[in-house]
């Protein structure tokens, strides 16, 4: 079975068990964002931030909790991840977008995950 067929079967399964498609897609994006954030060769957020469920967390940056309160405007959080030096030129946070460490799509997924914390 090819990838498209598997995805179609997966969608049919979602509708069969009564899970709305949009919730399943959102959960998938959050899981992908978490994988990128925890990946030591990609986002590597755990090198500097404590995140619930993370192992060997750093303490250079703030703990990533209550993000909706800290960043009521999700766009500000995305800008921070894209290039934190715009808000603080002395920051130690790498400019993930500006330096193309992550793609725009990967940053969007990380933002969705981090914003959910």
Q: How confident is the model at residue 16 (pLDDT cuts 50, 70, 90)?
A: very low
CB 92 within 8 A of CB 99: no
pLDDT band at 17 (very low <50, low <70, confident <90, very high): low
**How many C-beta neighbours within 10 Å does residue 48 have?**
16
Residue bearing the bigger pLDDT, 28 or 2: 28
Structure tokens at 51: 């995140």
pLDDT at 26: 81
The pLDDT of residue 19 is 55
Per-residue pLDDT tens over the stretch 40-69: 999 999 999 999 999 999 999 999 999 999
| Exposed/middle/buried for residue 117 (C-beta within 10 Å: 0-12, 13-18, 19+) | middle
Domains of the chain are: 3-115 (1.10.760.10)
DSSP state, 47?
Answer: G
């Amino acid at each position: 079975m090819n990838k498209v067929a598997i995805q179609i079967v997966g969608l049919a399964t979602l509708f069969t068990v009564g899970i709305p498609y949009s919730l399943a897609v959102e959960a998938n994006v959050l899981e992908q964002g978490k994988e990128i954030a925890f990946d030591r060769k990609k986002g590597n957020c755990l090198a500097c931030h404590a995140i619930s469920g993370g192992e060997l967390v750093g303490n250079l940056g703030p703990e990533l909790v209550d993000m909706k309160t800290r960043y009521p405007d999700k766009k500000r959080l995305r800008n921070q991840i894209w290039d934190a030096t715009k808000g603080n030129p002395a920051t130690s946070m790498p400019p993930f977008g500006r330096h193309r460490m992550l793609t725009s799509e990967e940053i969007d997924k990380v933002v969705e995950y981090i914003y959910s914390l």
